[in-house]
Amino acid sequence: MEYILKPWPWYVSGPLIATILLLLLYFGKTFGMSSNLRTFCSIGGAGKYADFFKFDWRSQKWNLTVVLGAVIGGFIAVQFLSNGAPIDLNPETVEDLKKLGFQNAGESILPPEIYSWENVLTLKGMLILLIGGLLVGFGTRYAGGCTSGHAITGLSNLQLPSLIAVIGFFIGGLLMTHFILPLIF
């Protein structure tokens, strides 16, 4: 039990993620979480505005079920399978974050400097989350997949487009982390 309550090392987590890919393939589906965003648009009636959203969203009910399960899984992991140990970040990372104004990095899953309601309910805080989400939603559909669809499934299937997409993920991520975050914080 002690090993379950502690954070899981990468060599346990990575293969378990590959198991999810295997299970979904075996169930006749593929692993791709970002498709659900398109499904939400379709359910909300976006088909009136673009043909892209005109499809039978009921065919995606299985993936929405995975989403529901993921929410429950997140709850179970935090409530019953965690000992509350801080994230074992590189001390350099903690130091870099301190310089940006992030205190106690790693004490919680997400930084309160971004996700606490106190910060979210300011104009700047709200815009950070809204724009962050917007970029993720727009970019993932433009690229035709996200971390699960491209980085895990696509690369496992040796797809060159997925490799290009992952290179894109890093171009954007490096720009944000090294140049834009220091301007925002």
Partner 1 sequence: MKFLKFLLVGVFFGIVLVKSEAVSWYRIFEMFKFQSFHMYGIIGSAVLLGITIVYTIKKTKLKSIEGKEIYLPPKDKSVTRYLLGGSIFGLGWALAGACPGPMYILVGTGVLSMLVVIAGAVLGTFLYGVFRHKLPH
Interactions with partner 1, residue window 34-53 (CB under 8 A): 34, 36-38, 40-41, 44, 46, 49-50, 52-53
Distance CA 170, CA 179 (A): 13
Distance CA 163, CA 174 (A): 16
Number of residues this chain uses to bind partner 1 (CB under 8 A): 127
Interface residue with partner 1 among 56, 138, 182, 183 (CB under 8 A) is 138
Distance CA 115, CA 125 (A): 8
What minimum distance in Å lies between the beta carbon of 86 and partner 1? 10
Which one, of 80, 37, 81, 82, lies nearest residue 60 by Cα? 37
Residue 173 in contact with partner 1, rule: CB under 8 A: yes
The answer to whether the CB of 41 falls within 8 A of the CB of 53 is yes
What minimum distance in Å lies between the beta carbon of 103 and partner 1? 12
Looking only at residues 59 through 98 of this chain, which bind partner 1 when binding is defined by CB under 8 A?
61-63, 65-78, 81-82, 87, 89-90, 92-93, 96-97
